[in-house]
Amino acid sequence: MVDFGQLPLKEFSIVEVLSYFIPGVVIVYTIHIGGYLQQLYPLIVVENVAIQLFLLTIASYLVGYVFHFPAVLVGRYAKRLVGNPVEYLIDPDNNSPNLLRRKLREDFPTELKEKLRDAIFEYWTHPNEGEHADPSHYYNLCEALVEDACPNAWMIHERFYSNSNLSRAMIIPTLFLGYVILPHSVVLSILLFTSAIVLVFRFLTLNISSIKQVYSSFYIFHLTISEAKGKRS
């Protein structure tokens, strides 16, 4: 049995860095056009344009970093619309009766769920221990295995995962920008609010796709290993 505590940590990618920086730029820009920092203008004594851009870059990244926490909370509430993919993608009894939720969830077929769940328990669980662990533990193990043994599949998963985080990070800045612009342009504000809804949808679907990539890659790996053992025996 693999120790659940000994799992590799994710490394930052360029997209993940941008998931701090881009939302921070939008928020700083929104604060600027909203006139919320006019009282601080007399305190800005730096006249060098390069230094100003450098300070704005640092400020944008720090603001984006601070807003990461509320962005995670928004993502958690959004996930309640569809449930936790880590759990329902390997639970053949977890089917949503709601058409919208079914479209958002992108479930595996029931037969594949059963085979995937059996493969996970067979690979990771000792025969005398039973199916005792939380699904998230099994997912973390599958994720670590795919990262180590299936580099191409892992790159696809990381692409989905990073872009999902970027979409999630842009939800609050887009809503904030829409709110600030509302007194000046109702049409543009409506477009921004609609864009925020699209970002929620994009976050959910990309997050589900990243998890499906891990499960699918693990299942293929497990089948390959099982076939190789069968040939040797």
pLDDT in tens, the chain (233 residues): 444 344 444 555 677 778 889 999 999 888 878 776 665 555 455 566 677 778 888 888 899 899 999 999 999 999 888 888 999 999 888 876 677 777 788 888 889 999 999 999 888 875 445 556 688 889 999 999 999 999 999 999 999 999 999 999 999 999 999 999 999 899 999 999 999 999 999 999 999 999 999 999 999 999 888 777 666 65
Max CA separation in the chain (angstroms): 80
Q: What is the pLDDT of residue 46?
A: 59
DSSP reduced 3-state for 199: helix
- Which one-letter DSSP state was computed for residue 41? G
Task: Residue 143: name the closest of 200, 210, 95, 207 by CA.
Answer: 210
pTM of the model: 0.82
Cα 8 → chain centroid: 18
Give ∠ CA 50-56-62 in degrees, rounded to 5: 140
Output the pLDDT for position 28.
Answer: 87
